[in-house]
Structure 1
Amino acid sequence: MTRKRNVPKWAWAAGIVVILAVVGVGMALTMHRAGPAATGTTGVAHGDHTHETEAELWTCSMHPFIVLDEPGDCPVCGMALIPKAVEAPALAQDKERVVAYWRAPMNPAEIYDAPGKSAMGMDLVPVYEDELVGGVEIRIDPVVEQNMGVRIQAAERARLARSVHTWGHVTWDETRTYDISPRFSGWIQTLHANFEGQNVKKGDPLFTVYSPELIAAQEEYLHARQRLGGPGSGYNERLLASAKRKLLNYAMAPSEIRRAEKRGRALDTVTITSPYNGVVVDKRAVEGRYFGAGTTLFTVSDLSRVWVEAHVYEYEVARVRAGQQASMVLPFSPGESRTGKVAFVYPFMEGKTRDITVRMEFDNDDAFLKPDMYANVTIETGTGDSGVVIPSEAVLRSGSKETVFVRTGKGRYTPREVLTGVTLDDGRLHVLQGVAPGDQVVVSGQFLLDSESQLKEAVAKMMEAVNPPAPEARSMDSKEDDFLEDM
């Protein structure tokens, strides 16, 4: 027979304790490997302080998008993973809504930095920063910020100065250009204006002419003058005035008429003087040449004021109007600028160059400007209105999206979506929405900030996919209602 063996009670108790210890160690190892995803706990908050209870994350220094919950090697480059720095959660007061700027309710582009009334007398509406955020806010250490070369510039309210830059050339003022064409025929005896480019003043002699028509007109005048004291003096006075008017219409100078009166007989040759001030730009008169009535012998142009004809492309001509201020700089004299104004916009387009000619007027009392000189022209086409302006390099463009980074605190930067208007002078942009006067916008280093913001946003979305938040527990009442509905 088999003898039954008695086991002491203390041996049974020791065996049970060992089994329980093994089971407890196994459960602990399982929960440690599962991490916070299995437990559904990320931290316990007490008052204003949060005690971290979540497992440590590991990332690659060369590939920050690699985030794992245990140490090891990077699956991309094979480098050893390093602990990922976890930022402290924002305090409760950071979650309060902050007013970025104030705007008019009827005109979103009318922006103010303080509450008040709009141009229409309506109360301004606040625009909060959380409404403008175009990405994830980032925090940067001051040393890293300096190494990145981050530069800040404040947005400001300024005049919307917008100009058209083009080229042009100097030409004659057609309203101050004159042809000298005698109203009689004759032969040129002597030339006093001998060459083109010669300056002449009003009353200076141009040429001496022999003309039978002028001699006949002189004799008629002298005969009427001799009969002035005889019978029919009234008729003779009218005849004398008519004869003198005829000489003046022939452009005979009053000094020449007095010389004929003093001589008592007609002058064989008469000196024709210039009726205008200017420069001889065209000379067709030659000594000994015969000319008929109406023949142009000289062309004189007054260069104390000149025209500049600029060429503006069709997409810019709508902004150009008569009366606008203009300036020009000659290529060989870059430091000297001259100011004029737009006088006329031609109503037709050049078919070959696809541009429209704009005529401007410039004073030229010193005769420095010469016809056919080339000039760099700037036409101020701004309306004189004011608005919020920022440097154009502060705007990051991605398709139809425009973003700027605004500094909200020490080392804190927030991306904002903005709506920009026209491009202004000096490399600035008119901002219609998204930025208020005084906002500190990033003008250098914003590409690195944008990369960091997009990276943080991508990592946050990936972590949400890996560790989804625990579903909110339903109350007992809802469970009972579900149970009754199932029944």
Structure 2
Amino acid sequence: MWWRGLKLCGRVLLVCLQPLVWLGFLACSIFLLGVAQQRGWFPVSGISGGGHGGGTAVAGGWICPMMCTAAVQRAGRCPVCAMELVPATGSVQGAAVSGSVQIDAAARRVANIQTVPVGLATGGRVVRAVGRLDYDEGTRRTLSARVDGRIEKLFADYTGVVVQAGDCLAIVYSPLLYAAQVEFLLARGGGVAAESGAAGSVRGSLYESSRRRLLELGMTEQQVEQLEVDGEASSRLELVAPISGTVVEKLAVEGQYVKEGEAVFQLADLSAVWLILELFPEEAAGVRFGQRVQVEVQSLPGRGIEGRVVFVAPRVTPETRTVGVRVVLPNPESELRIGDYAR
């Protein structure tokens, strides 16, 4: 009976060892398959599950899913992001060569990718600030009395009157001017052209000096020429506007005595005004000469005006720690008022 027990034990042992034998056989097969693939004993199919070592080449090459590098001829991992390389299709390979990325519609919807048409537009951040309108200092003029006298008549008798270049704004009575005109007429008379020699030279020099003196006393070239034509001296001097613009300050009244050099009028051309802004240094760092600025004036709500940057201060104001920026605004209809706020 002992042999029957031995036979039973052998059958039990065979049943227990059979799965282990099959597992060992399967492991050996997989190992031998891997060795065969690495040595290139048979070609690899279109998609490889390995890819950790130097895999075999495929027709389209291997490429990183994140497009970090160009396509390579063997599988492996991306040297940049360490992702496993995948076989490159025709569209992906063309995108890698051209530097563009092509994604089908389904992939865009899944990734929530939105696209917009390419076009030209201004970049950079938007700087918002509030400033005040001021005169264009380049167009301001001061009309002064060039000779001692009395304001006999004021034609521009209020601030804000609009004048044209050459308009008479005031008449000044001056005995000194009368004496200078008489001297000029005497030098002019006596026939300068008829005389010759030293006398003619002296008379010509006296004529030129007296003419120059009249110009220094405030007379214009046209007024001197008219004096030569009339041949009669006058103690009244017309103060004419040097530019077309607006009287922004009236500094004298009728009957007032004025000294030589004393200001009578302040004029300004208001066809363009300045917008004075104070920006923080980090904001002013991106502002350049000639940049266009969109402005909305407080007195004209909802109406945009386009200006241009004409000056950026080269220093930071110590008291406010700001940088002054000047913007010129067109004002052809004189709608912008000095002192108004704008942003």
Q: Tell me whether the two structures share a fold, i.e. TM-score over 0.5.
A: yes
Alpha-carbon spacing, 1:177–1:116, altered in 2? closer, same or farther (3 Å):
farther
Distance 2:207 2:113 in 1: 87
Q: Helix, strand or coil: the match of 1:270?
A: strand
Alpha-carbon spacing, 1:372–1:100, altered in 2? closer, same or farther (3 Å):
farther
Would you say 1:250 and 2:214 are equivalent positions? no
> What is the RMSD computed on CA atoms of the aligned residues?
3.5
- Kept after mapping to 1: 8 A contact 2:298/2:340: no
Q: Which amino acid aligns with 1:361?
A: V
Q: Which amino acid aligns with 2:315?
A: F
> How many residues were matched structurally?
253
Q: How does 1:277-296 map to 2 (within 5 A)?
A: 277-296=244-263
Alpha-carbon spacing, 1:151–1:199, altered in 2? closer, same or farther (3 Å):
farther
Q: Which amino acid aligns with 1:245?
A: R
Task: Report the counterpart of residue 87 of structure 2 in structure 1.
Answer: none
Q: How does 1:283-432 map to 2 (within 5 A)?
A: 283-376=250-343
Alpha-carbon spacing, 1:128–1:181, altered in 2? closer, same or farther (3 Å):
same
Shift of 1:286: 0.8
Alpha-carbon displacement from aligned partner over 1:428-452 (angstroms, at most 9, x marks no partner): xxxxxxxxxxxxxxxxxxxxxxxxx
Shift of 1:338: 2.1
Task: Report the counterpart of residue 215 of structure 1 in structure 2.
Answer: 178
Shift of 1:271: 1.5
Q: Which amino acid aligns with 1:240?
A: Y
Which of 129, 133, 141 in structure 2 is aligned with 1:170?
133
Distance 1:199 1:98 in 2: 75
Q: Helix, strand or coil: the match of 1:196?
A: coil
- In structure 1, list runs of 5 or more residues that go unmatched: 1-90, 105-112, 118-123, 130-138, 377-487
Alpha-carbon displacement from aligned partner over 1:274-311 (angstroms, at most 9, x marks no partner): 11221111111111111111111111111112111112
Q: Helix, strand or coil: the match of 1:271?
A: strand
Which of 229, 234, 237 in structure 1 is aligned with 2:204?
237
Distance 2:263 2:69 in 1: 68
Q: Which amino acid aligns with 1:196?
A: T
Task: Report the counterpart of residue 123 of structure 2 in structure 1.
Answer: 161
Would you say 1:182 and 2:145 are equivalent positions? yes
Alpha-carbon spacing, 1:100–1:366, altered in 2? closer, same or farther (3 Å):
farther
- Kept after mapping to 2: 8 A contact 1:189/1:287: yes
Distance 1:367 1:151 in 2: 53
Distance 1:116 1:316 in 2: 41
Alpha-carbon spacing, 1:297–1:103, altered in 2? closer, same or farther (3 Å):
farther
Q: How does 1:77-96 map to 2 (within 5 A)?
A: none
Task: Report the counterpart of residue 169 of structure 2 in structure 1.
Answer: 206
Distance 2:135 2:201 in 1: 49
Distance 2:330 2:235 in 1: 43
TM-score (norm 2): 0.64
Q: Which amino acid aligns with 1:154?
A: T
Alpha-carbon displacement from aligned partner over 1:191-223 (angstroms, at most 9, x marks no partner): 011011111111000111111221111011100
- Kept after mapping to 1: 8 A contact 2:141/2:242: no
TM-score (norm 1): 0.46
Shift of 1:343: 1.2
- Kept after mapping to 2: 8 A contact 1:325/1:339: yes
Alpha-carbon spacing, 1:151–1:165, altered in 2? closer, same or farther (3 Å):
farther
Distance 1:251 1:114 in 2: 79
Shift of 1:186: 0.6
Distance 2:295 2:116 in 1: 30
Which of 265, 283, 292 in structure 1 is aligned with 2:232?
265
Distance 2:116 2:66 in 1: 13
Distance 2:132 2:210 in 1: 48
Distance 1:256 1:127 in 2: 79
Shift of 1:259: 4.4
Identical pairs, percent? 31
Alpha-carbon spacing, 1:153–1:167, altered in 2? closer, same or farther (3 Å):
farther
Distance 1:366 1:192 in 2: 24
Q: Which has the higher strand share?
A: 1
Distance 1:320 1:103 in 2: 39
